Amino acid sequence: MQSRFDIAIVGGGAAGTLAAIQCLRRATTAMRIAVFEPAGPLARGVAYSTDRPEHLLNVPTGRMSAFPDHPDDFLDWLATRPGHADAARQALAHGYAPRRDYGRYLQDRLEQARASSVATLEIVPQRITGLQRDGQDWSLEWSGGQASATRVLLASGNSPRPLPVRGSGALARPRLVDAWDYSGVAAIDADAEVCIVGTGLSMADAVLTLAANGHRGRIHLLSRHALLPMAHACTHTVDEFDTDALHAMGVRARLRHLRQRMRDAASRGLPWQAVMERLRPHGQALWRSLPVAEQRRFLRHAARHWDIHRHRVAPAVHAVLQELRNDGRLRVHRARLDMAVAGQRCVQLTARMRDGSALALDVDHVINATGLEMRVQAMRNPLLEQLLGDGHARAGAHGIGLATDSDGRLLDADGQAQETLRVIGSLRVGEAWESIAVPELRVQAEAVARDWLEGTP
């Protein structure tokens, strides 16, 4: 007999788990909730599946609560864990916990919500490949099975971007390792010569693991911009200024304004990070206030600069990168990768430098750290392809993510918002831009649960 659920959540990473917690907490009737997740324990996803102690959160502990209305919840949880009980609370709040701890925290809060809710939660270890209208319900399909649900939340999480280079199809593990393949990175020999393609946050993870394993070989970093993540300030400060004036400005004027704000902050003894902290809650509003042409300009010219200032790393992580760079073990190349050739003993890489000259590297391993795939048509996700093909969805602005309204309702091919089909997390990037980090995910999860469950009989 086909199972029927009141709410089906497709994806059990951090976003899906936060949504499940909120739905369980807000349920007032004995409804049935399902989370469809094929990849093992919930709450882990890409970010929190690492068991490596050197992989830290990119946000201080005191700001990582799962609940908007209980901002100290993660801090309270961590303070009770072994090794932290005697730590000064303020120091713990301003520290950066291992990401594996955050996954355990979400799992604990999910079990608590499950135990105290009048609703029931079923975890279905299946990958949803099809979603069709069935009267007032949605029919969810997977290999060998089917279920129905009144409401469906898409929380399918982050998709890795394939290595964008000719010849990559001939590379295989262990020659080519994804940065999110934490065990694969950890298995690299300490004397190997390595090239990491991409210089974002996943690059930092890979370098930290190599360093933790006592890596002695050279590590090459290669990207078009050669911009590495910047560090959080050692103390949390927020510069106070009016952000509304930015909404009427284009991208260039905004950048000039923010540079001036940072100079002003420095004259008052504040770090430049204080300016970015002021913008932190307004990222989505700033994106939405840009005309389409200015959004394109941002994506072409300013997105990477925004990312390294906005998505910063813990000071300790930044210090490791700087130390390796200063002693010559970490070399940064500003170039566009052109070709990868798998030889018998090494991988031969060719790249084009900014001045047009060629760069040739012979390395033992290539680590793909090119980040998230934002173009929905390139995600190779059967469910998303089916939704697009059947007109239940369309690509988001600029071809990234899925098109939604400001509350995450999925827009169909005709632009109609679907109340019972919602989206949370990275699939909303085209509409919201800032839609990946926990501070955004927890707000989205709470909003969906509130809209669907408040006032239910």
Q: Are residues 151 and 181 in the same domain?
A: no
Q: Are residues 198 and 318 in the same domain?
A: yes
State the DSSP code for 209: H
Q: Are residues 36 and 116 in the same domain?
A: yes
- Beta-strand (E) ranges in 270-428? 330-342, 347-353, 358-363, 365-368, 409-411, 417-423
Q: Are residues 349 and 220 in the same domain?
A: yes
Looking at residue 457, its pLDDT comes to 41
Q: Are residues 330 and 195 in the same domain?
A: yes
Q: Are residues 186 and 319 in the same domain?
A: yes
The alpha carbon dihedral of 254, 259, 263, 268 has a sign of positive
Segments forming the whole domain that contains residue 378: 3-55+98-159+374-453
DSSP string, 149-197: EEEEEE-----BPPP-SBTGGG--TTTEEETT-HHHHHTS-TT--EEEE
Task: Note the pTM of the prediction, 2 decimals.
Answer: 0.94
**238-243 LR contacts (CB < 8 Å, sep 24+):** 238/274, 238/277, 238/278, 239/265, 239/270, 239/274, 239/275, 239/277, 239/278, 240/278, 241/275, 241/278, 243/278, 243/279, 243/282, 243/286
Q: Are residues 187 and 318 in the same domain?
A: yes
Q: Is residue 237 part of a domain?
A: no
Looking at residue 165, its pLDDT comes to 85
Q: Is residue 88 part of a domain?
A: no
Let me know if 389 is exposed, middle or buried by CB neighbors in 10 A (0-12, 13-18, 19+): exposed
Residue type present at position 227? L
Q: Are residues 106 and 45 in the same domain?
A: yes
Last residue of a domain, one of 260, 282, 310: 310
Contact criterion met (CB below 8 Å) for 225 and 250: no
Number of domains in the chain: 3
Looking at residue 249, its pLDDT comes to 97
Kindly state the tokens that stand for 452.
Answer: 């669907």
Looking at residue 202, its pLDDT comes to 96
Q: Are residues 317 and 305 in the same domain?
A: no
Q: Are residues 296 and 425 in the same domain?
A: no
The segments of the chain whose pLDDT lies below 50 read 457
Q: Is residue 63 part of a domain?
A: no
Q: SS3 of 51, please?
A: coil
Please state, in angstroms and rounded to a whole number, the distance separating the CA atoms of residues 99 and 83.
16
Q: Which tens digit of pLDDT belongs to each residue from 186-210?
A: 999 999 999 999 999 999 999 999 9
Q: Which tens digit of pLDDT belongs to each residue from 12-54?
A: 999 999 999 999 999 999 999 999 999 888 998 888 999 999 9
Last residue of a domain, one of 368, 387, 409: 368
